[in-house]
Structures are given as structure tokens and as C-alpha cells.
Amino acid sequence: MPHGAKTSQTRRRYGSENASKTSCNFYLIMIIYKNLTNILTLQEKEETMSIVHFTDSNFKKEVLESNIPVLVDFWANWCGPCKMITPIVDELAREYSGKMKIGKVDVDSNSSVASKYGVMSIPTLIFFKGGKVMDQVSGALNKSSLKQKIEENL
């Protein structure tokens, strides 16, 4: 089919004015879609930026030498209760950004830190302030309980 044939058919079928509106609407929809996709990508990046991933090598700098209180979530990928609290921890990390650093330690990949702080079961949440352990909770918590613990340790 020649390049302009489809446009001619559309004009004959819907009238010249409607064909122009249809193609204009299509391009407008494409522009809106592209912009929404970019906005959602930025939001996803912003959400993941709130959570810090602590490791054996960066733990001292990121946690012990932090100028603000730190909540460390000791977790593992295979742990069901850990997966249950992940969305809660992520949400609270965004909410308390700048007031408390909230991050995770994968105990399978970073066993030295987990061993040093006696983490025997997961999830274990440890609160640090000024490089010292202030509080510790083992097991899954609901959002309001975790939020209360955060407030107590600010």
C-alpha cells in the first residue's frame, strides 16, 4: 500500500478533519504515555534510593560513623517474614529520609556483620545511634509497631 493511501482512506471514511484529529490524538497519547513512563521511572529510582544496602565493607562508614540514627534490617532473600516486612521498611525509609538512615544487610552475603552483632534469627532489626546499639527487635513487625520503634530511637 503506498504511503499516503491509508491516510486517503481514512479521510474518505471519516472526513479530512476527523483524520487529522485522529492522528493528532494518537501523537498526543504517545507523548503523554512517554512522559508518564519517565515519571514512573523517576519515582521507582527515588523509592529505591531511600534504602541503603549495607555490607561487611561499608558497615563501619555507613552505620557506625553515621551522623543520624540508623536502622539496620538483617534479612535474607529466602526468608518469608523478611519479605513480608520489606514493603514496610521501604516505605518507612522514604518517610524518615534525612531523620534516620534505614538499610538492609543480606546475612548470606555479609555474614561478618551479622555474626558480630549476634544475629541468630531473621528478620532482626537493630537500631544504632552514635555507633552504638540502642535497640533490637527480632521477627516481623507491623507498620505501626515499627514506626513506634523508630520514633523511640530517633
Q: At what angle do helices 5-14 and 16-50 cross, to 10 degrees?
A: 110
76: which residues sit within 8 A by CB, 6+ positions away? 82, 106, 107, 108, 122
Active-site residue 24, yes or no? Answer: no
Q: Out of 52, 63, 71, 82, pick the active-site residue.
A: 82
Q: 36: helix, coil or strand?
A: helix
Options 19, 51, 70, 79, the catalytic residue: 79
- Cα-flanking dihedrals φ and ψ of residue 106, to 5°? -80, 110
In the residue annotation, 79 being an active-site residue is answered as yes
Given a contact cutoff of 8 angstroms between Cβ atoms, the answer to whether 144 and 130 are in contact is no
Which residues are designated catalytic? Answer: 79, 82
